[in-house]
Amino acid sequence: MPGVAMGSRLARFQDKDVTKAGGCMLQIATGKFFKAAVGRENRLRGVLYTNYRTSFEDEGLETAAGRLMPSSNLSGLKALIYEVSERYEGGPAEGALASVGAEPFLKDMAAVVSFGLDVTCTPDPDLARRLLSDAPLAPNAYARPKQYVARTFEAQVWGQPEEVEPLKAFVADLIALKREYYLGAMRAIRTYVGGLQRLGDDIDLAYTLLVASVESLAQGFDGHRATWGDYAVSKREAIDKALEDAPEAMADKVRDTLLDIEHVALTRRFRGYAMQTLKPAYFREDAAQRQNPIGRADLGGALDLAYRIRSKYVHELQAIPKPIVYVHDLSEWTRVDREIALTIQGLARLARTLILQFVQDSPKVDKEDYLYNLDIPGIVEVEMAPEYWVWKHEGFEPKQARLKLSGFLDLCANVLAKTPGAQLVDIRDLLAKFEILIPQAQPTHRRSMLSLYYLFNVLVAENQRREGWWDVVKGYTSILNAPSMESLSLLLVLRKPIDWTAKMLTEVRGQYYRQRYRELGLRLPWLLEAAFDLVLAEAHRREGDENEARAVIAGARDNHPTMAQLAMFEDQLLTPLAPIDWAEALLRKDEPSAAETPPSGDGLSDEAAGEDPFSR
């Protein structure tokens, strides 16, 4: 897998099977995000299967996303040849992506054609046949798909010349969208098309997906800013009561934080987005062509009910109401317990109208500055092993100190565990920057920088340490000695005795687990996490609480199911418990004992014996 470095910790990898991830390639291939000229171009072709009898039999149809050309029929299906130019900026280079193949383009174009023409279109001929069949597709299907929605699943849809230009205009508008809006539109289109395609085997899921296609636009693009009045009344009153004695500024901060982290007024936003977006033509000219269309006055309540139906399915797997299931005459509404409810046909027309309006109204550009690489199918971003980034110092900021410490602790743990090829790396250039930043850093960042600075210098030979390193550290020994996640990690790596109380260790452990997956949090390698637990277990044993010690050990085993040494240690526990030495328990028996030298590597000496704040 060829990789390309991304930033300081991330790498981009190309999976061999680029069809596994769906990427929005239609827009990328136009070159609107390229900074350099188009250097490579592939002409891709594939087949789409449809029930649409084209009105462009001879000349084909050229769109902003490629060319559609008619072909011969296949067992009653119409085959469309889809041809598209796959463009890349820059010329051929080692490791450069040659092509993603036709499949991602075919999937996206099939969704666009299905939606744009309101027909069935798919790269899968078997799916097309099933959708257009005269029989229900599954035992729990109540009717054929064409009995729920008009046109889409008819055996043959005869294209009209007047449909060509609207389709071309729709595709042109779609491709011209700013990337954020294009991705939102494609998510909605795929969800809409996917919902319709589930009508033959799961009508509950089909209804839910149609609601979701609109909900994605409402939540992503309605510009809603939640207020405290949007919060659920029961929760709001309880929180207001709890904040009665708090200073007003603090109470407002709590309320704002809750609004930022919780989705509020979802039903109201869903209804509001739809009602504000629909044009009068929806209730007039377009409605005149429909069977029993819904009126504006009834639509608000029907939208609320549709969202409740969606929520009950998502959270409780409750089926949609039977009155909706048994509407087979393409009526757009029915009654459910005296409420007006949108049928599949009514919901489908609503969703399609809103998505079309979104594409028409959203901002469009010819060129855009956008980092598109990660949108290419088969390209994923992963964190590199720390030896590739922990030493980098360009652009370092103190807030990144915990990331650097985490990476170096990973290397130390690999050496402790005698992982093949494990070694430490030279980070002295980074530490030189630490010397400048430590005095002015915030306390949390300073502690992490000091911990990494100290750890490196005590592990390496004297001639490989930073000159005058102890002068940097000695003024901060109280920080290194104070109980913290960082100081505990140093004691573990250096295999120093840890005589903290169980209460102190429990508090530090809680702090660690609350922050370890935050963007800039400290994350210990699994070996040190398990060691942390065994140190806590030993503190409980030492204080006479054997039951709690055993519970901590059991929890450690549950947290690290792949650590065979930990499992073996728990299985061999004695009664009463013997003193617990984490290194004896977790490291292979050919490892040095706890009294011997801590890890080193990459030419960094095993004979380090620097000044030690932990002994002062």
Is 533 in contact with 498 (CB distance < 8 Å)? no
Question: pLDDT at residue 18 above 60?
Answer: no
Region 409-429: what's the mean pLDDT? 94
What is the β-pairing status of strands 77-89 and 52-53? unpaired
Mean pLDDT rounded to a whole number for the chain: 87
**Confidence at 606, pLDDT banded by 50, 70, 90:** very low
- DSSP string over 335-359: EETTEEEE-HHHHHHHHHHHHHHHH
Question: pLDDT at residue 308 above 90?
Answer: yes
Domain ranges of the chain: 3-176, 217-361, 387-615
Residue 316 CA to residue 311 CA, distance in Å, equals 8
Q: Render pLDDT for 503-556 as a digit per residue (tens, 0 to 9).
A: 999 999 999 999 999 989 999 999 999 999 999 999 999 999 999 999 999 999
Q: At what angle do helices 401-416 and 485-494 cross, to 10 degrees?
A: 20
Question: pLDDT at residue 16 above 90?
Answer: no
Q: At what angle do helices 526-542 and 485-494 cross, to 10 degrees?
A: 90
Map residue 121 onto helix, strand or coil.
strand
Q: Render pLDDT for 117-126 as a digit per residue (tens, 0 to 9).
A: 999 999 999 9
Lowest mean pLDDT across 77-91, 179-193, 347-361: 77-91
Residue 592 CA to residue 280 CA, distance in Å, equals 80
Map residue 209 onto helix, strand or coil.
helix
Entry pTM:
0.81
Question: pLDDT at residue 470 above 80?
Answer: yes
Identify the burial level of 156 via C-beta atoms within 10 angstroms of its C-beta, where 0-12 means exposed, 13-18 middle and 19 or more buried.
middle
- Rounded to 10 degrees, the C-alpha dihedral 292/296/298/302 comes to 90
**Residue of 64, 59, 46 whose CA lies nearest to 116:** 64
Residue 5 CA to residue 273 CA, distance in Å, equals 41
Residue 230 CA to residue 268 CA, distance in Å, equals 9
Residue 363 CA to residue 370 CA, distance in Å, equals 15
Measuring CA to CA, how many Å separate 330 from each of 131, 556, 604? 17, 59, 77
pLDDT of residue 228: 54
pLDDT of residue 267: 81
**Confidence at 1, pLDDT banded by 50, 70, 90:** very low
Q: Please enumerate in sequence order all residues whose Cβ is within 8 A of that of 338, keeping only pairs 6 or more positions apart, or say none.
A: none
Identify the burial level of 521 via C-beta atoms within 10 angstroms of its C-beta, where 0-12 means exposed, 13-18 middle and 19 or more buried.
middle
Q: At what angle do helices 203-221 and 344-361 cross, to 10 degrees?
A: 30
Written as one letter, the residue type at 343 is: T
**Confidence at 258, pLDDT banded by 50, 70, 90:** low
